Structure 1
């Protein structure tokens, strides 16, 4: 009997200690514009559920990724056998103007201005538009609600009317300028599988026109091309990034695939795919190493209207504005960012970078990606002025210096880190 009693006491003790502590209350502090109902909908910790420290840590990282959040912290308090958890949120200012300045294909002044709200209705929806002057006038508008339907499922639409002077590169270094006019409407469904994985699927309806402007047009090449296209697109992102104001650590992979239909001739149907691999590592207390490897491929390898451009704002700082095109690409951007002044909300960051890449020329072979014939190599220096409590408020100025035959150099200015 004594042995049975001891066994029962031992079993009851084990059961008592094996019971999970419960989250008695979840408090959310610091909100001004963001709706508390939105935060409670998004986070995984719920009152009445078993306490899970990993779930709390995941919630904090999830909150720090939101455009409306500058920083987030958690605090744990014991009340009896249960816990009270407090999430303290520091909000970003999210009505953001933007500007990019460059030279256009006529070596004249080009710019793009925009205005976006990244925390619309206090629910971290994105609404905004842009105006661009790049030889011709362009404009566009966006709305995206990543958590419109549930805490995983959202929706987005955008419309763009882009008009630009596009250099098209034919054989024997023959360059012809076209006026490119495209009107596109796109709708996307967004789904978040879990904290690290999300996807988009969508459809893009576009009307494209190419009109000859100037140059030595090869015999048989049309002066005007038109196409009404439908593009089916998919995007998949793996994100294991940790953000601490200007410091970023971790790995991210973003795959974008598109199948374009409705074209013919030089604007024929094709498949296009691109994957960005990004790696960030904090170095010491003040340094940050950042790298991006971009792999891109298009199946329309025999058209001069190639989809991938060598451009200051896209991949090679200092190269110039759309100086070449390709139907496949390998691009590596790597840089070291160092904080040499920080006080309160203001940060000054220096930047040393190398941008390099290779392209497959229209009508060329994939071996051009590795044989060095299209290699571009641009080291450079830059500076960043950062506001820690305004979303994406990074004013960047970079100078890239090309090495090799026919290399150029120049300044690239914009808002937001280059990648």
Structure 2
């Protein structure tokens, strides 16, 4: 029966494409798009997509040689599974008509209905709705891929596919709706998350911690990175794509996009430099791995704040996030938690630091929307910081507890852990029959 299930899913999708072809007229005469905004968002969509192969290299270079293909594939498979889910009903869950401010009505844009008749998203009226949908899809793709670093080298691939699907539906989609939909619960509270501090990094980070705890330690917990050169390539691709991630979240070719681009690169640089200097201060050699990890932590931390803070404050965010994440990585190594590639200390903690510092440094002169909830704590106002802190606590509980529950459900459906023999041989051979 299990052998026929994937084929059954493909047949069902094929039937849906015939029943709901979504053939509509192209933009009506009254709809005017800004060609500059459309061009920038097309580029941004491609930039964000390249982050997932970048993540595959970043993670793949860090694991044992016998698990490189499996680890990289866990990222790449998100591109196909999440995309199909997004087109059928996923976009509707995240951005469809709000149900209680928590989730979208899955029928709103079912099979991309209503995409090609000149429709627009309320917050992006100068670009086609289908472009907004495809841009947001790339965020949905990389979020579950981020989690894979925590359970690398010990999860059954088929079981991971089930967890990936469940995580998208029950964790990612509700958080995206709550945060980025105008009628979302967190949006109405005034929570500021420019490009995914809560939706992407905190959700993935807490799910990673839950996964590491649930799956327990590897039988061979120590290893040497397979290809540090892969890590460097992955970092470059991630940094490159992150400009679409953050600057693209301005949803247009505007001065705000330029600000987000500037804060993104300065935070990453400051974090990479801080990580290396902090290691040297503790008597360690400056390493390529440390530089890469530090830069990514800075990219993570600036994500929620990119369009709300000034360039000098982005330097502060990079420095503070690198110091804190570095210390949490050090703490994690002294515990029994086997977060293989330190996803929680880097993405989870980095996202939380970024969310809090958004509440510290955000100012209305950078983005007028800040005026609705007040400037950051640094400027003598407290409301925004309280809102950000409250959201951080709530999202953390939801993402961790929800992920732990989904892991248990997945384990009941199909065992999560590979056998000792499969782990010893390596996941490349035992799960995919391939090797480097």
Give the alignment's TM-score, normalised by structure 2: 0.26
**Could you say which structure has the higher helix fraction?**
2
Larger RCO, structure (CA 8 Å, separation 6 or more): 2
Normalised TM-score (structure 1):
0.27
